[in-house]
Chains A and B, each alone.
Chain A
Amino acid sequence: MTLDRKTRHPMPRRAFFRTLGVASWAGLARPPAAQPWPAGAKVIDCHAHLHHHSRPSWQEDDRKLIEAADKLGIDQLCCSILTPRRPSTAEGFRECSQWVAEAMRRFPGRVLGYCYVNPGYGREALAEIRRCVEERGFMGVKLYNEYRVTEPVVWPIIELTIELRVPILHHAGHAHYFLEDQPRISDGGHLAEVSRRYPEAMLICAHIGGGGDWEWTIKALRNAPTAYLDTSGSVTDDGIIEMAARVLGPDRLLFGCDNSMTAGVGKLRAADLSAEDKQKILGGNMQRLLARRGTR
């Protein structure tokens, strides 16, 4: 629930768009939300980041993220913390998980945790994932670009997430030029390949709106029916959501912002999809993934 700023009474987040109105001009009523969230939809941001504690303003920045979620009608945020410099050390990713666990306690029910690891640390990475999921109630694993998802070093992690029944949110992007700072970035094609190898895995290809040529990525994922795609990122190109829904089906899309909050919300709101499909994307599909382990 969100607190009404004047009365301090709880206000359902769903009421957000109905209470924010806009004034008239030239006889027009203030523009209402073009397409408010479907009634009853639970909104889960599948791709969010809390802030590394080396950042002096991390507490304030974390609080702002929750406030932004309140304003935008987002019920839950699936969060990771990444090390500022990568590849991460084992000590570095363990510290991040510790802070995510603290945030889950600080914002109960609002923050769900991804355990970020560097697969290169083998046993330490696996132990950290098991500890975070089994003891701390984390909902998934976050992998970045230390290794391509197709590299064998990543496979034990995928196999562990199958055992634990949790998803992997995998950083991804496809550019038509070499990314010098991300030589081992995975793309939709790599994730499709691995998801065909491990159809029981729940692989989420990250940020269609922040990973380069989104049309390429959507097409690359077409024939990998068990791979998911998250809608996050700062790119708000018209048609991106509709193409993803048309090619992959709405059951494979997960709403996200990757901290580009109004971009994430705005493109979902704008997309020309049925209320039922939007409800799935906004949270229904993620709830289904979380239910495999019983995470709420």
Chain B
Amino acid sequence: MIDVNAYLGHFAFRQLRHNTAVGLMRLMDSRRIERAVVSSASAITYRNAQSGNEEVAAEVKTHRDRLIPFAVINPFYAGWEDDLKICREEFGMKGLRLYPRWHNCRLSDRACLDLVNAAAERRMVISIPIRVEDSRQRSWLVNVPDLPLEEVSELVKTCPRAQFILLNGAGFVNSPLGRKESGLPANYFIEISRLTAVLANEIGQLINNLGPERIVFGTGMPFNYPDPALVKLEVLEASEEVKQQIRWRNAAKLLGIAV
């Protein structure tokens, strides 16, 4: 299995376990997750996110066969172009994670679009967490709302050459992102950690609407337990072939992982 939604490092508002490379891989082993895309949890709130990228690069250096590092870049911070170059060329990072609300910007801002286009030119995958935590448990210090799906929808339309993974999202079937024939380019993938597999069964609806090749497995470890996402795949009413696509094939293709 390939988990496209994992993290290393500390988070500002809650202690995380399993947040070192060794700890995360131990957890992955216990759930038979072969590889995981990781970025810095600390970089979400570091002013200079590049420090978090450096920490992740050092942490995964000897575990590149298991951990696939992504960069966190704030397009309004000085030197982001240099940081992007270093992350791609020196650290070998295959993608980005964008936190527009945590970095106090909108995906439609010129700087964000510049970052997305620069990353796409470098063939980096751009992942966008719709949320980091449930906002009901937010600290008294900050109020970071979920990213509106309409904003994401506009971005994928505006940047058709870029490739996106949408993390920690739900309610896609009520937005153009999850509808059939919405006119949006097929340049985005949806990760399952917050989707339902029973009752409303949003995963099943998205498979019907977008095709199974657009759905990818992710857990949100170590913010989240891995098992809820695993259970979803276990109870999902889909063929084994479709489940294999979701478990790893789609992500392997997107990330250029030879298997």
Contact = CB atoms under 8 A, between A and B. Distances in A.
A72 to B, nearest CB: 7
Contact of A267 (B30, B137, B225): B225
A167 to B, nearest CB: 25
A175 B223 CA distance: 19
A266 interface: yes
A236 B225 contact: yes
Interface in B219-246: 220-235, 240, 243-244
B63 to A, nearest CB: 16
B17 A239 contact: yes
A276 interface: no
Contacts of B227: 34-35, 265-267, 269-270
Given A17-B234, A31-B31, A64-B198, A236 B140 contact: no
Nearest to A266: B228
A64 B199 contact: yes
Interface string B74-85: 000000000000
B16 interface: yes
B94 to A, nearest CB: 19
The B contact surface, by secondary structure, is loop
A26 B228 contact: no
A269 B231 contact: yes
Contact of B134 (A22, A29, A235, A270): A235
B108 interface: no
A59 interface: no
B101 interface: no
A39 interface: no
A289 B1 CA distance: 41
A37 to B, nearest CB: 12
A263 B228 contact: yes
B157 interface: no
Contact of A212 (B137, B226, B232, B235): B137
A87 to B, nearest CB: 22
Interface residues of A, number: 46
A175 B135 CA distance: 9
Interface string A225-255: 0000000001111110000000000000000
B124 to A, nearest CB: 24
Contacts, number: 121
Given A25-B248, A238-B17, A266-B225, A214 B199 contact: no
Contacts of A26: 34, 259
Contacts of B30: 34
B198 A238 contact: no
Contact of A20 (B143, B234, B248): B234
Contacts of B194: 234
A256 interface: no
Nearest to B232: A262
A82 interface: no
A237 B199 contact: no
Contacts of A211: 136
Nearest to A25: B248
A48 to B, nearest CB: 11
A20 B235 CA distance: 8
B139 A72 contact: no
B214 interface: no
Interface in A260-284: 261-263, 265-267, 269-271
Q: Which of B32, B223, B234, B259 has the most CB of A within 10 A?
A: B234
A262 B228 contact: yes
Interface of A: 17, 20, 22-23, 25-26, 28-29, 31-35, 61, 64-65, 67-68, 71-72, 173, 175-177, 210-215, 234-239, 259, 261-263, 265-267, 269-271
10 contacts: A22-B234, A23-B243, A23-B244, A26-B34, A26-B259, A175-B137, A237-B133, A267-B228, A270-B227, A270-B228
